Amino acid sequence: MAEQKNTTTKRVVLNSFIYSASGLLLKCFSFFLLPLYTAYLTTEDYGINSIATSFITTMGFVVAFSLFSAVMRFYVDLKDDPEQLKRFYGTISLFTLLSGLVFGTLLTLLRGLVSEHIFSGVPYYPIIFVSLIALLFHCQQLIFDNVLRSQQKAMHSSLVTIVFFFVTLGLNILFVVVLKMGALGTILASAISYGAHSIYFIIYMLATRQMVYCLDLPLLKKALKYSVPIMPHNLSTQIAVLVSKVLIGDAVSLGSLGVYTVATQFGNMADTVQNYVDYAYGPWLYEKLHAREEAYKSNIRKTVKLLCAVIGLFFLGISLFAHDYIILFIKKDYYDAWKYVPLIVLVFTIKTAYYFYVEVLFYYKKASKFLFTATVTSSILNVLLSYFLIPAWGVLGSIAADGISMVIRVLIIYFISRRFEDIGLKMKDFLLNFVMVSGFIAAGLSLSFFKYGNKFIILNFGFKVVIVLLYIGINLYLHREQIKPLMAFLKKKLHKNK
């Protein structure tokens, strides 16, 4: 029994590392390309691309009725019935495809309203039309991603993501740099990449006999009953982000919005790390709650504390070294972006607790309908706070609104999850994690804020490295009981491969 516990813990930690490492690798490549893109895309192009990206992300939840979440949850129930699982995958994929076609047709008929009120006067053809094509394939890509996540195939999922990232990159260079197509080039690159991803999804699932295309109405009804209540949860956050961007552009300036956008790219990398950790944590937790092994709550708490320490390491690195990258590689007009990065990262540090508690609501099907309580409430609060704080404080007002609303979201999810089950997590662990991460960030950036400012100084860089090493050393000591069996497991794997 103890060996089985160690094995499952090793799996979730190892999968978390694979997801985080691959995700961070891709984010790093994206940042390396920032200087290139800023040379070929105008501010207006960035604005159009930003609107299109937000539109595709937000409308993806509408088109698919948030069925991505059902893919992961229903795998636990259907994995022992392969035939039903095949029909489930096929039903979700086909329904989402049909829904996308209906949605695209409707928006085409209403293209005048879409162009004026969503895309700020951008002509429907070709940019909005290509965005709709990208949306259609984006939904299929998300379904496949959740299929691999639910099956805990972290390596396969990461490899697919990496391959199609470079496909998108190559297309962007072709359309934007070589052909100089501007915003249309970036959107067209995404559409083609999503399309190729969808084709691979279909071929792989059919070739491995994991999917049968059909419309199994009883299965679809159960899945929609689970996923539809999650839609407000998914949509509210995206809408709040969009409103914040609009307010910054109107109340401050588009230039400030551009600087803030660069900062959010670094900050969002922090949330990407948490997302990839959650990819591994969610299925692992579902199995723990399904099996109810001896002392499973204690095992969950210890594993989560270790995962928080790993997440904190990424957060610290992003906060400290974003300063050096921006100063060295980005245009001088964007230098102030580094000052916003640690603040944005701290908002995501608050969000860490949310990821670990919210999976309880995803596990209990009856609990999924309560998700919107937290997300909608916090998002409405975010919009209201942004409305008052952004005109007064500018970008800092947006970050403050995000932080306050995130605290409310975490507290709501915490109390709701405990109504269904106390899985052993303690809020004080997350508070201590926040204090530790914020303390190390403050220490690491002290020289940057008070002495060197917008300059790259090798001594300052070395000081940050020392801070990171100190953080690693302290956490290696604090989590030595969990790390020792993990290291032994990795050594055994490496020795076996030799």
In three-state secondary structure terms, 119 is coil
Quick one: pLDDT at residue 466?
95
Long-range contact pairs involving 195-202 (C-beta distance under 8 Å, separation at least 24): 195/133, 195/137, 196/164, 196/167, 197/137, 197/140, 197/141, 197/144, 197/160, 197/164, 198/137, 198/140, 198/141, 198/144, 200/144, 200/160, 201/93, 201/140, 201/141, 201/143, 201/144, 202/93, 202/140
Domain boundary among 186, 215, 244: 215
Domain-ending residue, one of 185, 215, 245: 215
**Do 247 and 208 reside in the same domain of the chain?**
no
Same domain, 391 and 449: yes
Q: Which two tokens stand for residue 64?
A: 């698919």
- Dihedral of the alpha carbons of 316, 318, 55, 336, in degrees to the nearest 10: 110
- Is residue 209 domain-shared with residue 288, that is, in the same domain? no
Judge whether 22 lies within some domain: no
**Pick from 160, 189, 215: which residue ends a domain?**
215
Domain-embedded: residue 26: no
User: Cα separation of 77 and 205, whole Å?
Assistant: 19
What confidence score (pLDDT) does residue 1 get? 47
Q: Is residue 108 part of a domain?
A: yes
Q: How many structural domains are present in the chain?
A: 2
Q: Identify whether 23 is part of a domain.
A: no
285 with 173, same domain: the answer is no
Q: Is residue 15 part of a domain?
A: no
Q: Is residue 220 part of a domain?
A: no
Residues 330 and 417 in one domain: yes
| Same domain for 257 and 198 | no
Structure confidence at residue 439 (pLDDT): 95
What's the domain range around 46? 33-215
Whether residue 186 sits in one domain with residue 255:
no
- Residues 331 and 259 placed together within one structural domain of the fold: yes
**Cα 450 from chain centroid?**
33
Distances (CA, A) of 457 to 9, 154, 328, 454, 466: 41, 39, 10, 10, 15
Which segments in the chain show pLDDT lower than 50? 1-5
pLDDT of residue 459: 93
Taking the C-alpha atoms of residue 492 and residue 470, their distance in angstroms, rounded to an integer, is: 28
178 and 297 in a single domain? The answer is no
Same domain, 179 and 112: yes
Residue 118's pLDDT is what? 67
Based on the fold, state whether residues 306 and 160 are members of the same structural domain. Answer: no
Residues 333 and 471 in one domain: yes
